[in-house]
Amino acid sequence: MSDFKELKETAYRSNMRLPELGLVLFTFGNASAADRDREVFAIKPSGVPYEELRVEDIVIVDFDGNVVEGDMRPSSDTETHAVLYKHWEHVGGIVHTHSTYGTAWAQTQKDIPIMGTTHADHLTQDIPCAPPMSDERIQGDYEEQTGYQIMDVFEDRGLSYEEVEMVLVGNHAPFTWGKTAKKAVYNSAVLEEVAKMAYLTLQINPEAPRLKETLIKKHWERKHGDDAYYGQEN
């Protein structure tokens, strides 16, 4: 029996949530779950349709991108996941999709602006769009460089990956993460919904204003602040 049975099951459940939530079509995406104590993560095998995916197909990879366990080739995006896990120590799960609205925004090379309180319930910043990578990076280890491209935009803008758990990669698609794989999947669904809302808002009114700071602060703090009152007490 695999030493990574529970981790594989977590990754499997996370991957299967993506088509359930309408975030992937065919094989357009992947999710991974990390075991930080053992410095490994479980990820979907490359090119396997979701309806055919089994727990035992999930591949275990270390933070350098080396396969530790599994008979199948891991996702083509494995190196991107590995870079983020290796450098961002509080990430426990990562999701990559080509969801329609998130990907459309990525293809415009524009951030998703914070225009409403739904967005502010989850983060206080625009969702950043990393610029398309240089030709030199593209011609190198493309998937590994995608990880560094994500990290670079956070460093350049002074953003915290623990506060902003999502990004667009220019001309590519969204990536999200969280302390757990379940949270990464949740963030992926949030990104897609916020992307859709922002698109529709600007279709209705191309001059629609950005959400004002007092509302951003209020909606963030009522859910995440020291005196948060959203939801039920534990």
Which residue of the set 121, 126, 141, 152 is catalytic? Answer: 121
148 an active-site residue?
A: no
152 an active-site residue?
A: no
Q: Residue 227 has which token pair? A: 């005196």
Going from the C-alpha of 180 to that of each of 31, 48, 54, 195, the distances in angstroms are 11, 23, 21, 22
Which residue of the set 3, 64, 156, 230 is catalytic? Answer: 230
Residue whose structure tokens are 């329609």: 100
Contact 165, 84 (CB under 8 A): no
Q: Residue 131 has which token pair? A: 């610029």
End-to-end CA distance of the chain: 37
Contact 80, 147 (CB under 8 A): yes
**CB neighbours of residue 139 within 10 Å:** 10
Give the closest residue to 111 by CA, choosing from 168, 177, 165. Answer: 168
Residues catalogued as catalytic? 121, 230
